[in-house]
Structure 1
């Protein structure tokens, strides 16, 4: 599920909120898994954070559409 958040270029906090709201996962669980993923995949997350922090080439409508799709998704598998 965290991977889906990453596909949508969400921050850690956005991911925690989304999983708590849409998948009913306690924030502490998401934070713990996120922390372990950071430890095991440092290179990936460095590149991810750099890419996400740069100004996006996506338009507002594209970003809004991806967020709306994420919110409507009912199956997290």
Structure 2
């Protein structure tokens, strides 16, 4: 299954712990490569980037839990509002 840019995915491996990203982390697909790989960005709750790197299609799965997306969006909105002047 090929995912689209800006889709949310869950990391399935601990292979990238040295980059600050553990299994279970939620990331956003930035680019889709022809060789069944994705460029994925992983961010903190405040929106700052932890890391971005290419992963194989087998290392991620799509996030299908709509509640997770809503909670994440609300938390980011709250953080943005707190940071506004």
TM beyond 0.5: no
Higher helix fraction (1 or 2): 1
Which structure is higher in RCO with an 8 Å CA cutoff and minimum separation 6?
A: 1
Q: TM-score, normalised by structure 1?
A: 0.30
